[in-house]
């Protein structure tokens, strides 16, 4: 039934392979062995999936590798359907008053500004998902990012800037910072009200 819904048996097998292995790249002959399908049908479906944008390709060691694009708009719902493990973001534990990862970011020691954008904010086109400004402990932040990635079921791109560096970049309209603050974002922390003052 799912083959009929998604067009072909090969496409379903490819979606299952890629969405169960985010961050892992495969070359064509390896894919044909793993999903036990003919090379011509695999190539045709890979071309279709590239056209849609759910996978990306990259050449390395004279081989063309394919992997799922974790920034694809429908990545999370498709992963919920095709991945081997459950996606926590779509199946949260029904516990009342459970602190979220957003709450943990709000409580991040030393953070003076925390913004969400990119894949974490609908309608954002930023390549940065979390911007943290301040003097934060890297080990604490890395641990928190790992838990966010596990919860979201995808890699998260984050950037940490010192407060002085961020303020300078904001004042000179630095392209990197401007792309974030002039796009769609959600403010979790802004202790200095710097974004309100900058508008």
Q: Which of 88-97, 145-154, 167-176 has the highest mean pLDDT?
A: 167-176
> Is 187 inside any structural domain?
yes
pLDDT of residue 79: 84
With bands split at pLDDT 50, 70 and 90, how would you rate the model's confidence at 37?
A: very high
pLDDT of residue 92: 45
**pTM for the complete prediction?**
0.67
Taking a C-beta distance cutoff of 8 angstroms, is the pair 17, 34 a contact?
A: yes
Identify whether residues 34 and 110 lie together within a single domain.
Answer: no
Taking a C-beta distance cutoff of 8 angstroms, is the pair 190, 106 a contact?
A: no
> Is 94 inside any structural domain?
no
> Is 129 inside any structural domain?
yes
> Is 93 inside any structural domain?
no
Helix (H, G, I), strand (E, B) or coil at 66: strand
Buried b (16+ CB within 10 A) or exposed e, 109-130: eebbbbbbbbbbbeebebebbb
pLDDT, tens digit (0-9, with 9 covering 90-100), for 86-141: 444 444 444 444 468 888 899 999 999 999 999 888 888 899 999 999 999 999 99
pLDDT above 60 (res 69): yes
Identify whether residues 187 and 106 lie together within a single domain.
Answer: yes
Give the CATH number, domain containing residue 168: 3.30.460
Identify whether residues 43 and 122 lie together within a single domain.
Answer: no
With bands split at pLDDT 50, 70 and 90, how would you rate the model's confidence at 81?
A: confident
pLDDT above 80 (res 196): no
Question: What's the chain's average pLDDT?
Answer: 85
Q: Can you list the positions of beta strands (E) in 12-60?
A: 26-27, 55-60
């Amino acid at each position: 039934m799912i083959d009929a819904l998604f067009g072909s048996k090969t496409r379903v097998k490819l979606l299952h392979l890629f969405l169960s292995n985010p961050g892992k790249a495969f070359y064509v002959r390896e894919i044909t062995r793993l999903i036990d399908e003919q090379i011509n049908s695999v190539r045709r479906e890979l071309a279709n999936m590239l056209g849609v944008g759910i996978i990306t390709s990259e050449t390395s060691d004279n081989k063309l590798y394919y992997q799922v694009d974790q920034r694809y708009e429908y990545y999370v719902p498709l992963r919920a359907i095709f991945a081997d493990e459950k996606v926590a973001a779509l199946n949260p534990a029904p516990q009342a008053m459970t602190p979220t990862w957003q709450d943990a970011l709000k409580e991040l020691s030393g953070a003076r500004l925390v913004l969400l954008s990119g894949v974490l904010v609908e309608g954002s086109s930023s390549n940065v998902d979390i911007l943290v400004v301040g003097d934060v402990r890297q080990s604490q932040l890395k641990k928190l990012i790992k838990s966010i990635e596990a919860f979201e079921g995808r890699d998260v791109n984050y950037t940490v800037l010192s407060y002085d560096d961020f303020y300078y970049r904001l004042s000179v309209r630095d392209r990197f910072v401007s792309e974030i603050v002039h796009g769609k974002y959600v403010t979790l922390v802004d202790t200095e009200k710097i974004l309100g003052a900058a508008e």
